[in-house]
Amino acid sequence: MKQTDIFQAMYQHATIGIILVQPDGKIAKANPFAEGLFGYEKGALDGKNVDILVPDAFRASHHQHRTKYHEHPTERVMGEGLELYAQRKDGSTFPVEISLGHIQHDGQNLAIAYINNITHRKQVMQEVAEGKSRLTSIIETAVDGIITINRRGIVESINPAAAKLFGYDPDEVIGNNIKMLMPEPDKSGHDQYLHNYQTTRKRKIIGIGREVTGLKKDGETFPFHLSVSEVKLKDQIIYTGILHDLSDKKIAEEKLRRYAKALERSNRELRDFAYVSSHDLQEPLRKIRAFGDRLQAKEGDKLSDKGKDYLDRMLNAATRMQRLITDLLHFSRVNTRANPFQLVDLKEVLEGVLSDLEIAIEKSHATIKVGELPSIEADETQMRQLFQNLISNAIKFQQPGTAPVIEISGQVQQRNAHLSSTPGDRIATIRIKDNGIGFDTKYADKIFQIFQRLEGKKYEGSGIGLAICKRIANRHGGDINVESTPGEGTTFLISLATKQLIEQ
Amino acid sequence: MKSKLFTILIAEDDEEDRMLTEDAIEETDLKCHLQFVEDGEQAMEYLLNEGKFKDKNKFPIPRLILLDLNMPKKDGREVLAEIRKHEALRTIPVIALTTSDAPEDISLMYELGVNSYITKPVSFKGMIKAMNGLKQFWFEIVSLPK
């Protein structure tokens, strides 16, 4: 191939638009790529004014530029020019990059324009720029603090949230060692720590995160959670720290802790008071009864009938008081003598209780209908006590002339309106329904209070049973409610958490 | 004071309880001598014939000990532990008779080797019943080392 043929081929097949322009602005020659670029047929550009390739808006200024260029032609390489646009035959425009040269041909000064369509490149660059600004905006507006340091610990960037956290302007921190934000002993240890990490790769915080203490500009310290990640860039390593202020959380935690402690203390005092007082009250009472018994047994004959009656009444009152004290003790023991929670099959517990109550059930001709009952985490003894109290109540408060029918069933359901997932989320609801005498529901709250009784001496009891039931339900993360209609019956609804929190 | 009657040692700091225990035992018609001490230290002095209890005839080794738990100076738990460690005393039956029904007291006393544990009955009738039970079991049913 001859050299001219080679040049000809290079021109014909160039993947860049090449256009030769005469001083008068007419196109002397455009290569096929240029024709394609602008959407013209082969040869269609020859002789046309080059201005037709310039968008209408730029056409006037282009004319001036071109004239100037022909007066002082210089080389201009790609990428140095302005951001330019070109116009296709169909009127659409596209961004181009143009480099210029000039040659002498037939005594004419011809300008050569090499034209690249940079639509795609521009798009990519724009995406990159957008991505970068988006990332910057995210970092700048983040609620958590973000700080980057280089491998020597020098702060390269700090976002407004982090700067505010420490009470500095970003400029006061950038370029300084990150140690300025640390109290001792971290301050002194940090260089060594960075060095250790870089030599041993042993992680203490990088890639893990933990609670640390920060030092504010005003000298105050505060807790925050710091997670650090290592970022390997092309030519360096930087560490990015994300900081989450824990001050409020810590204060709230501390408040809660103190409150819980105070509550625990007052609870304990109350428990101790109930226990000690009932325990200590028993002593003198026991003696009142014992000496009363002695008096009755040994000296009773010597008393008048009236005297005997007084003594009887005194001893009866002492017996009742004894019962109250014993009940009070039992009540206080729901919490003081509690057993640990374990998985309990309530059906099994109920069967045990029913067998204990066999005599009472037979005597009252009661019918007991037992439905499904779940297994839950509970104090088995207290579950037994709960069923025992409620079922004996159902038997006790029967309608005269009607045999008791007692229905017991249970189901597990999701707790309504729960805010967060806690172990008590699922609750077991146990229903104990009877056809007994019932009561007016305006007393519904009263019956669960200690020593409150609705019925007189016709029915035995001191009014402790339901109070104990309520306490047991409460201890098991639940409660007890009642529905009743006088003359029709009563239904107790007991809710119990299926999983118990560990007690303090 | 010579007698072939058995001796029961009752360690009880409360005077009224001593009276009531004595009354209750009397009601059971148990023929025995009752010896009372008022705290744990006295109980040990009695058993070791020390101090005012030097006279072995007057203060013989008891056939049975009724031991209160909560007493001044030395409590019933300590007394029991010392008895069970003592060569000559370790076989004497010891019955805890106390107001405490705390599970930890009950299990500790059995661990220390108490023969039985009685929570003081709340009524005097109950007390007589308990003493009757003791009489029947410890003086009529069981055999003890001489």
Is B124 within 8 Å of A293 when comparing Cβ atoms? yes
Instruction: Determine the Cα–Cα distance for residues A23 and A172; give it in Å rounded to an integer.
Output: 59
Q: Whole-prediction pTM value?
A: 0.51
Of the partner residues A279, A283, A289, the one whose CB lies closest to the CB of residue B123: A289
Query: How distant is the Cα of B103 from the closest Cα of chain A, in angstroms?
Result: 9
Q: Which residues in chain A are closer than 8 Å to B125, comparing Cβ atoms?
A: 293
Q: Choose, out of B20, B26, B68, B124, the residue to mutate when testing the contact with A (most A CBs < 10 Å).
A: B124
Give whole-number Cα distances, B76 to A3, A275, B107, in Å.
125, 22, 14
What integer pLDDT is reported at residue A204 of this predicted model? 65
Q: Do B123 and A293 touch (CB under 8 A)?
A: yes
Q: Would you call A294 and B124 a contact, using CB atoms and an 8 Å cutoff? A: yes
Res A416: pLDDT: 59
Asked if the bond preceding A185 is cis, omega within 30° of 0, the reply is yes
| 3-state DSSP percent of chain B in helix, strand and coil, to 5 | 40, 15, 40
pLDDT under 50: residue ranges of chain A: 504
**Residue linked to tokens 């008779």:** B97
Interface mutation vs chain A, best among B17, B23, B122, most A CBs within 10 Å: B122
Strands B64-67 and A489-497, how do they pair?
unpaired
> In chain B, what are the domains?
6-141 (3.40.50.2300)
Q: Give the Å distances, CA to CA, from A63 to A54, A112, A493.
A: 10, 16, 94
CB contact under 8 A, B122 and A294: no
3-state secondary structure of A117: strand
Sketch out chain A's domains with CATH numbers. Answer: 3-118 (3.30.450.20), 142-245 (3.30.450.20), 257-334 (1.10.287.130), 339-497 (3.30.565.10)
User: Which residues, at least 6 apart from A248, have a Cβ–Cβ distance to it below 8 Å?
Assistant: none
Cβ(A396)–Cβ(A357) below 8 Å = no
The DSSP bridge pattern shows strands B64-67 and B116-119 to be unpaired
- What confidence tens digit (pLDDT) does each residue in A445-504 have? 888 887 777 666 566 666 788 888 998 998 888 899 999 888 888 999 999 888 887 654
- Average confidence (pLDDT) per 10 residues, chain B, 146 residues: 74 90 90 90 91 88 92 89 91 92 90 93 87 91 84
Smallest CA–CA separation between B52 and chain A, in Å?
30
pLDDT tens digits, A156-190: 888 888 888 888 888 888 888 888 888 888 878 88
Q: Are A70 and A78 in contact (CB under 8 A)?
A: no
- Cα–Cα distances (Å) from A500 to A341, A425, A495, A496, B47, in that order, read 7, 10, 13, 9, 52
Which of residues 276 through 295 in chain A touch B, CB cutoff 8 A?
Answer: 279, 282-283, 285-287, 289-291, 293-294
pLDDT of residue A430: 92
CB A494 within 8 A of CB A477: no
Nearest-CA distance B127 → chain A (Å) = 9
Q: What is the pLDDT of residue A180?
A: 85
Edge-to-edge order in the sheet of strand A405-414? A367-370, A405-414, A426-433, A489-497, A479-485
Q: What's residue B129's pLDDT?
A: 93
Hey, are the CB atoms on B123 and A283 less than 8 Å from each other? no
Specify the pLDDT at position B3: 47
